[in-house]
């Protein structure tokens, strides 16, 4: 068995095992695939075709600045946040509402029923918006500032229309919000302007009032008159000089003096009053200037506010935007769904995998035995041979029980010869002459195996006796066409001698003892001392005795017999017999002290179904076949 140490061979066997499982259960795989493909086809053909239309939008990060008024509508996001926000706005109810209004009550559709109106109440606004939103996808084009709005509908034109409408309404929404912001700003300005205007008017009024009160003409020359004042001072000085000159000539009481003095007094009074006038005039000037400055600043504020509002209004009106439609949607020619080819491929793969999985699962759940390896692994029994069912027409036409005689060149016959080889191989070691053929259940191929083994052994030159110990349903006599004759029952009952019931057959060296009359108590007969004596007697006359027995789980006969023979062979019907049944039979036989199980034979192996079996068969067949052939020749 040097080949078995070859790791490549091990691997090959593993792969063969998987391949065998798949091949053996190919109908499951095929059925699963067919079902999956059929379902996919039904799905593809029953489904209403869905069309997809896309509009491409360019969203530049910042609004182009026409007028420098950042504070009016500024957006100081980071790029990522900005775009995420835009995507959210694109998928918002606000946009859906606008589109819905424009569409005039969009009615949703289903892949199966199309656009069927709902029974009962009409759709609420929320439901309509939801259905609309569900059909819209917003996908950014990677590494660009482009966004694709994709709308699916069962009507291609409508899909394109909604897609474009969506883009339009989004742009309108953005403009509206910006305009709102501008309007808010200008409203605030307007208020400020009104305030400024009021205060300007008040300041102007105050100034005017003041002017009127102080009779101020804009030139301001009336406020003080330095010439008059100087004239008065000069006059006073000259009068004072005149008084001092005249006082030398006149007394104080002189009328001239009195006149001069009164003139001096009046001039002095005039000077005093002029002085007072001067002070008052400068006060008025200061107050006037204050009032005038008030008016000036109010006017300045008013004008600057006026200028600002005109700026803002211009910007608001411009309606510039950073969003543009790059590609408008066009009505698609082909539906996007169902993707028939893709669905088919997916279904095919699913079917294959599910089928494969099922195959392996069933293989695991399957409690039958298929390969000699199963026999070794699960039963811990030596696998003596795997007997394949006949393959060619001629082999099939031959009687299964006599195939080794009728068609010795067939592969099935070769399998029996390999069984013979295996048996001889162990028999040489242990000197096993009497062999019992049994199985766990009925119809497993015991009789067929017993007859053919007997034939090939006879063909190998041994003097073989075949005994039908199935005293309940004897079949050997029918196979050899003996008719109703005496057999084991009579020998055991003591009414006949062995020599008178033994038949010589057409096969050289092969002798047969049939069942005879079916007895009422087979177990007792087979367990009797007479049976042991019979076996002893025949052992001296033949090289090999092969006993066909009933199934072990059905009756106790084979268990009893297993204690009387040199070796027991368990026949297992491949792919059918439950391994636990075989294990039970094995246990029962092993419980008998003097029993010895040589091994198991897989019968009715379907090489057609199990490519792998053929490998095993070939393997054993070749190796031991040659060994057997050598021995024969
Ligand atoms: N290798 C084979 N090729 C074709 N047919 C076979 C083979 N082995 C068995 N059969 C068929 O299977 C059936 C059962 O076989 P057989 O009578 O040998 O089984 P059994 O275990 O002796 O049954 P029972 O429990 O009734 O005695 C028979 O009809 C037989 O022809
Ligand atoms: Mg039988």
Distance 449 CA to ligand 1 centre (A): 8
DSSP output for 610-622: -HHHHHHHHHHHH
DSSP output for 233-301: HHHHHHHHHHHHHHTTTS-TT-HHHHHHHHHHHHHHHHHHHHHHHHHHHHHHHHHHHHHHHHHHHHHHH
Tokens for 521, please give them: 């108590």
User: Who's near 102: CB < 8 A, 6+ residues apart?
Assistant: 165, 169
Angle at 145 between CA 144 and CA 147, to 5 degrees: 100
Average confidence score pLDDT of the chain: 85
Q: pLDDT tens across 162-174, in order?
A: 999 999 999 999 8
Q: Percent of the chain at pLDDT above 90?
A: 48
Q: How many angstroms from the chain centroid is the CA of residue 419?
A: 53
Q: pLDDT tens across 441-464, in order?
A: 999 999 999 999 999 999 999 999
pLDDT band (50, 70, 90) for residue 483 = confident
* Predicted local distance difference test score (pLDDT) of residue 624: 40
Buried b (16+ CB within 10 A) or exposed e, 146-174: ebbbbbbbbebebbbbbbbbbbbbbbebb
* Predicted local distance difference test score (pLDDT) of residue 317: 54
Q: pLDDT tens across 519-541, in order?
A: 999 999 999 999 999 999 999 99
* Predicted local distance difference test score (pLDDT) of residue 386: 94
Which residue lies with its CA nearest to atom 8 of ligand 1? 445
- Mean pLDDT of all residues in 557-585: 95
Q: pLDDT tens across 393-422, in order?
A: 888 898 999 999 999 999 999 999 999 999
| Strand order, beta sheet including 383-388 | 383-388, 597-605, 567-573, 434-439, 544-548, 464-468, 510-513, 503-504
Ligand nearest to the CA of 570: 1
Ligand 1 atom with the smallest distance to the CA of 396 is 4
Ligand 1 cavity residues, CB under 6 Å = 387, 389-390, 400, 412, 439, 442-448, 470, 473, 475, 551, 603-604
Q: pLDDT tens across 188-244, in order?
A: 888 888 898 999 999 889 888 888 887 776 554 444 567 888 888 898 899 889 888
In whole angstroms, what is the distance from residue 603 CA to residue 600 CA?
A: 9
- Mean pLDDT of all residues in 48-63: 86
- Mean pLDDT of all residues in 261-278: 88
CB 200, CB 292: distance < 8 Å: no
pLDDT band (50, 70, 90) for residue 77 = very low
DSSP output for 112-140: TTBSPPPSSSPPPHHHHHHHHHHTEEEEE
Q: pLDDT tens across 7-33, in order?
A: 677 777 778 888 888 888 899 999 999
**Beta strands of 328-382 (E only): which ranges?**
none
Ligand 1 atom with the smallest distance to the CA of 441 is 25
pLDDT band (50, 70, 90) for residue 509 = very high
Tokens for 199, please give them: 């205060």
pLDDT band (50, 70, 90) for residue 5 = low
The label of the residue with tokens 């009127």 reads 212
Q: Does pLDDT of 512 surpass 90?
A: yes
pLDDT band (50, 70, 90) for residue 273 = confident
Distance 573 CA to ligand 1 centre (A): 9
Peptide bond preceding 338 in cis form (omega within 30 of 0): yes
pLDDT band (50, 70, 90) for residue 610 = very low
The label of the residue with tokens 């063909």 reads 459
Answer positive or negative: Cα dihedral of 572, 517, 464, 456: negative
Q: Which residue from 448, 557, 581, 605 has its CB within 8 A of the most atoms of ligand 1, so it is best to mutate?
A: 448
- What three-state secondary structure class fits 510? strand
Ligand 1 atom with the smallest distance to the CA of 548 is 22
Ligand 1 atom with the smallest distance to the CA of 442 is 25
């Amino acid at each position: 068995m040097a080949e078995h140490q070859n790791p490549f061979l091990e691997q090959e066997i593993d792969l063969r095992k998987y391949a065998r499982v798949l091949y053996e259960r190919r109908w499951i795989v095929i059925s699963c695939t067919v079902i999956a493909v059929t379902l996919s086809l039904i799905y593809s053909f029953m489904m209403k075709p869905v069309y997809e239309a896309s509009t491409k939008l360019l969203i530049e990060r910042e609004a182009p600045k026409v007028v420098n008024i950042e504070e009016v509508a500024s957006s100081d996001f980071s790029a990522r946040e900005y775009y995420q926000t835009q995507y959210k706005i694109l998928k918002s109810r606000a946009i859906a509402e606008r589109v819905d209004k424009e569409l005039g009550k969009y009615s949703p559709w289903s892949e199966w029923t199309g656009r069927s109106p709902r029974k009962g109440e009409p759709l609420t606004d929320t439901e309509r918006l939801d259905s609309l939103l569900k059909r819209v996808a917003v996908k950014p084009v990677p590494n660009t500032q482009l966004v694709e709005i994709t709308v699916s509908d069962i009507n291609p034109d409508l899909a394109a229309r909604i897609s474009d409408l969506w883009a339009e309404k989004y742009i309108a929404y953005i403009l509206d919000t910006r305009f709102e912001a501008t309007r808010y700003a200008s409203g605030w300005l307007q208020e400020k302007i009104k305030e400024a205007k009021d205060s300007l008017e008040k300041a102007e009024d105050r100034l005017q009032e003041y002017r009127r009160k102080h009779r101020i003409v804009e030139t301001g020359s009336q406020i003080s008159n330095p010439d008059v004042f100087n004239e008065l001072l000069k006059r006073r000085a000259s009068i004072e000089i005149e008084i001092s000159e005249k006082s030398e000539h006149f007394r104080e009481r002189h009328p001239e003096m009195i006149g001069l003095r009164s003139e001096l007094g009046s001039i002095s009074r005039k000077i005093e009053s002029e002085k007072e006038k001067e002070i008052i005039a400068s006060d008025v000037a200061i107050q006037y200037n204050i009032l005038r400055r008030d008016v000036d600043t109010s006017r300045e504020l008013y004008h600057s506010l006026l200028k600002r509002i005109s700026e803002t209004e211009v910007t608001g009106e411009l309606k510039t935007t950073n969003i543009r439609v790059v590609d408008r949607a066009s009505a698609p020619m082909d539906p996007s769904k169902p993707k028939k080819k893709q669905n088919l491929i997916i279904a095919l793969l699913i079917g294959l995998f599910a089928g494969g999985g099922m195959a392996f699962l069933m293989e695991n759940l399957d409690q039958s035995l298929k390969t000699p390896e199963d026999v070794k692994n699960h039963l811990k029994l030596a696998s003596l041979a795997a007997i394949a069912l006949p393959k060619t027409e001629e082999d099939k036409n031959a009687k299964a029980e006599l195939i080794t005689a009728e068609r010795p060149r067939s592969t099935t016959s070769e399998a029996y010869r390999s069984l013979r080889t295996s048996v001889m191989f162990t028999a040489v070691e242990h000197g096993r002459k009497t062999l019992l053929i049994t199985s766990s259940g009925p119809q497993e191929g015991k009789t067929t195996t017993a007859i053919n083994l007997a034939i090939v052994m006879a063909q190998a030159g041994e003097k073989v006796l075949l005994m039908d110990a199935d005293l309940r349903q004897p079949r050997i006599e029918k196979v050899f066409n003996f008719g109703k004759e005496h057999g084991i029952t009579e020998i055991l009952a003591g009414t006949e001698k062995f020599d008178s019931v033994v038949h010589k057959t057409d096969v050289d060296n092969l002798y047969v003892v049939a069942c005879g009359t079916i007895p009422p108590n087979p177990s007792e007969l087979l367990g009797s001392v007479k049976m042991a004596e019979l076996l002893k007697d025949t052992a001296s006359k033949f090289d090999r005795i092969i006993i066909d027995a009933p199934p072990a789980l059905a009756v106790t006969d084979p268990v009893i017999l297993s204690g009387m023979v040199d070796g027991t062979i368990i026949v297992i019907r491949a792919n059918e017999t439950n391994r636990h049944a075989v294990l039970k039979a094995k246990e029962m036989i092993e419980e008998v002290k003097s029993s010895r199980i040589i091994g198991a034979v897989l019968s009715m192996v379907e090489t057609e179904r199990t490519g792998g079996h053929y490998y095993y068969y070939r393997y054993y067949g070749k190796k031991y076949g040659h060994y057997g052939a050598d021995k024969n020749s």
